[in-house]
């Protein structure tokens, strides 16, 4: 899908150099992947301290050895 975007050329070139990418497309795709990954990590981090668990739970007992 062709998309025209007004991207800051200086930022794109710097990201391309830092990432060692050969093309602008590769640079943008990697940046989007990292953005998504970081957002997902933020969601997980926001759960710290909110999930209750049983201290005596034996997780090893429920493992299957297939």
In total, how many domains does the chain have?
Answer: 1
Confidence label for 53 from pLDDT (cuts 50, 70 and 90): confident
Residue 52 included in any domain: no
pLDDT tens for 8-50 read 999 999 999 999 999 999 999 999 999 999 999 988 888 888 8
Rg, C-alpha atoms of the chain: 21
Domain of residue 24, residue span: 15-45
Backbone angles phi, psi at 10, to 5 degrees: -65, -45
- Residues 19 and 27 sit within 8 Å (Cβ to Cβ): yes
With tokens 């070139």, the residue in question is 13
Is pTM beyond 0.85? Reply is no
Residue 3 included in any domain: no
C-alpha atoms less than 13 angstroms from C-alpha of 22 in its C-beta half-sphere: 0
Residue 8 included in any domain: no
pLDDT at 64 over 80: no
Residue 20 included in any domain: yes
Residue 1 included in any domain: no
If residue 44 lies in a helix (H) or strand (E), which one and from where to where?
A: helix 24-45
DSSP 3-state assignment of 48? coil
pLDDT score at 66: 63
């Amino acid at each position: 899908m062709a998309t025209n975007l007004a991207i800051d050329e200086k930022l794109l070139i710097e990201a391309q150099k830092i990432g060692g990418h050969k093309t602008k497309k590769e640079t943008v795709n990697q940046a989007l992947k990292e953005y998504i990954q970081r957002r997902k990590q933020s969601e997980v981090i926001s759960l710290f301290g909110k999930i209750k668990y049983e201290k005596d739970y034996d997780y090893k007992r429920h493992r299957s050895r297939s």
